[in-house]
A and B are shown apart, each in its own frame.
Chain A
Amino acid sequence: MVDIVFWIIVGITIGSAFMVVQSKSLLYSAYALLFTFVGVTGLYVFLWADFLAVVQIVVYVGGILVLIIFGIMLTNKITSVNISHASVQKGIGGVVVLGIIGVLGYMVFITPWNQLAATEPEQTSATIGRLLMMDYLLPFEVASLLLLGALIAATTLSRKEN
């Protein structure tokens, strides 16, 4: 039963990711991305990573993808534009893809994976919080500074000059 659910989620994730690259309409791609994100959330749930799963939805589905769709809808006439060439340079692209698959596959087999406990961990968010605020405080702060810089830059760019 759990296995069936797992494979359904995998199917949704990969199928919709394929739709993202294959769809001729930009908006359809964006909407297919929604299902990819939700599928990835499902994979997180299978890893007992409940906090990460929910944050995935809040940040990617609730924030980033909405902004992408906004961008598409507010850009004049872009929604009706059909992408005529879905893919170019098929030969070289194929070689690159095969290379990436090879490297990734090799990595999957040589990495010593952590085995998960079969039962739900007592708490997840507290551990993440402790790690972020104590062990990885500097990278955390640097990342927030970077985001703040991007935010200020975006406001400056979008402001009308007078």
Chain B
Amino acid sequence: MDLLGFIIILVKVLVVFAATMITVMGMIYAERRVSAFMQGRLGPNRVGPKGLLQPIADGIKFFMKEDLIPSGADKPIFILAPAILLIPALMTFAVIPFGSSITIFGREIALQVADVNVGILYILALTSIGVYGIVLAGWSSNSKYSLLGGLRSSAQLISYELAMGLAVVSIILLAGSLRLNDIIADQQGYFLSWNVFKQPLAFIIFLVAVYAETNRLPFDLTEAEQELVGGYHTEYSSLKFAMFFLAEYANMITAAALTVTLFFGGWDVPLLDESSLGLLGAILSVLSFILKMAFFLFLFIWVRWTFPRFRYDQLMRLGWKVLLPLALVNIFLTGGYLTLTAMK
């Protein structure tokens, strides 16, 4: 690999990392303000104009707090757990294309960190590693609440991973590829070519599963305050707690980006050929991606402050007896449709 190529990749990694961090800060602010709006409060509005500096104040507070390790805790695992959760959460965004491509220094640069052949599977694989962070945190804290939270969460994650994966299979069938760029190319062109219109059932299953995967309401049983104090991160404080927090929001950002990529044409601007417009087309495609993603991030907050929490048995029933069979039926129908059209 030449030096320029290496520098380009490094810049892309830094840009994506910085963008994720800034979006996390924006999400924390948005979550507090939107929830306040929904509950008829004002929310944080004193730090900076309109309270915009509140996330920075929150961050500084995390640094200043004392870092506690419970005396009965398993120390090495207790320290390792937040990192095991955070690292995969930050790695997943690498394969998601966030724009078409730009031409600088006479070479075409794709707006994506890594174009992996099996992109969609890469994301599913990394999300399954995240489970360990939660189980490890729950077990090593040596606390009943943490352990129960960790167990609940891992059962929930592996149950909904199935429904999510099977919902994605029908998209893969349509695109005929595991590469995210091919899936986007398959949806390009007219408005109705987006997968959300071709696969509405898969979209609904995927969306519900995503909320369970990111531990958000109405599926946040892992940290149900009334029962489990804080769930798996009850015993964590200071920066280690901040890492859990960061991982949760990073997962949400990736989930929103993945929803956009799989079902809403990714960076595709409807009725427009981005490649014919050069740099302008690239900027438009990035803007389109950000706009769509912002909507799904907002939807996360909206849902959180609108729906009540599920009970645990309801959660399991929904996952195994409703979503999973529906996803299988959907795959069957998609496969049947593809076979019939191929026969003609």
Give A contacts to B, CB under 8 Å: 27, 31, 34, 38, 50-51, 54-55, 57-58, 61-63, 66, 69-70, 73-74, 79, 120, 123-125
Whether A62 lies near B178 (C-beta < 8 A) is no
14 A-B pairs with C-beta separation under 8 A: A31-B132, A51-B118, A54-B118, A61-B129, A62-B125, A63-B128, A66-B131, A66-B154, A66-B158, A69-B154, A73-B135, A73-B151, A74-B151, A120-B117
**Scoring B residues 106 to 119 as 1 if CB is less than 8 Å from chain A, else 0, what string do you get?**
00000000001110
- Of B77, B125, B132, B154, the residue contacting A58 (CB under 8 A) is B125
| Majority-rule SS of B interface residues | helix
* Assembled-state Cα–Cα distance A120/B132 (Å): 31
Contact digits for B132-145, partner A, Cβ 8 Å, 1 yes 0 no = 10011001000000
Binding site for A on B (CB under 8 A): 77, 116-118, 121-122, 124-126, 128-129, 131-132, 135-136, 139, 147, 151, 154-155, 158, 161, 178
Q: Which residues of chain B come closer than 8 Å to A27, judged between CB atoms?
A: 139
What is the bound-complex CA distance between A88 and B122, given in angstroms?
Answer: 41
Number of cross-chain contacts by CB at 8 Å: 64
Residue of B nearest to A48 (CB): B117
A50–B131 CB distance below 8 A: no
> Within the complex, what minimum Cβ distance (angstroms) separates A5 from chain B?
13
Which of B121, B129, B136, B154 makes the CB contact (< 8 A) with A70? B154
Report if A58-B128 is in contact (Cβ < 8 Å); known contacts: A31-B77, A73-B151.
Answer: yes
Provide the residues of chain A in CB contact with B77, threshold 8 Å.
31
Residue of A nearest to B151 (CB): A73
Q: Min CB distance, B55 to chain A, in Å?
A: 32
Instruction: Give Cα A69–Cα B178 distance, bound, in whole angstroms.
Output: 30
> Is the pair A34, B121 in contact by a Cβ cutoff of 8 Å?
no
B118/A57 in contact, CB under 8 A: no
- Find chain B residues with CB under 8 A from A51 CB: 117-118, 121, 178
Contacts of B131 in A (CB 8 A): 62, 66
Residues of B within 8 A of A70 (CB): 151, 154-155
Bound: A29/B128 CA distance, A: 19
How far does the alpha carbon of A14 sit from the alpha carbon of B83 in the complex, in Å? 22
**Are the CB atoms of B158 and A62 closer together than 8 Å?**
yes
Q: Is the CB of B151 within 8 A of A62?
A: no
> Would you call A57 and B128 a contact (CB within 8 A)?
yes
What's the least CB distance linking A117 to chain B, in Å? 15
Residue in chain B with minimal CB distance to A122:
B117
Contacts A27-B139, A50-B116, A69-B135 hold; do A62 and B121 have CB atoms under 8 A apart? no
Q: In the complex, which residues of chain A have a beta carbon less than 8 angstroms from the beta carbon of B151?
A: 70, 73-74
Shortest beta-carbon distance from B143 to chain A in Å: 14
Distance from A131 Cβ to chain B, minimum over Cβ atoms (Å): 16
Interface centre among A55, A62, A74, A120 (most CB of B within 10 A): A62
**B122 contacts which chain A residues (CB < 8 A)?**
54
What A residues does B116 contact at CB under 8 A? 50
The reply to whether B158 and A54 contact each other, CB–CB distance below 8 Å, is no
Closest beta carbon of chain A to B147's beta carbon, Å: 8
Q: Which of A31, A55, A69, A123 contacts B117 (CB 8 A)?
A: A123
| Complex: A125 Cα to B175 Cα, angstroms | 14
Write the chain B residue with the least CB distance to A62.
B128
Known: A31-B77, A61-B129, A62-B131. 14 other contacts (CB 8 A): A34-B132, A50-B118, A55-B121, A57-B126, A62-B125, A62-B161, A63-B128, A63-B158, A66-B131, A66-B135, A66-B158, A74-B151, A123-B117, A125-B118
Indicate which residue in B117, B124, B154, B158 contacts A125 across the interface (CB closer than 8 Å): B117
Which of chain A's residues has its CB closest to B121's CB? A54
Q: For residue A54, which residues in chain B have a CB less than 8 angstroms away from its CB?
A: 118, 121-122, 124-125
Contact assessment for A58 and B158 in the assembled complex, using a CB-CB cutoff below 8 Å? no
Pairs of residues from A and B, 10 with the lowest C-beta to C-beta distance, nearest first: A62-B128, A57-B125, A54-B121, A54-B125, A58-B125, A54-B118, A50-B117, A50-B118, A51-B118, A54-B122
Tell me which residues across on chain B come within 8 A of A31, comparing CB atoms. Answer: 77, 132, 136
Given A51-B118, A55-B121 in contact, is the A61-B128 Cβ separation under 8 Å? yes
Residues on A with beta carbons closer than 8 Å to the beta carbon of B147: 73
Question: Would you give the shortest CB distance from B29 to chain A, in whole angstroms?
Answer: 33
Minimum CB–CB distance from B74 to chain A (whole Å) comes to 8
Residue of B nearest to A79 (CB): B139
Bound-state CA distance A78–B1 (Å) is: 50
* Residue of A with least CB distance to B84: A34
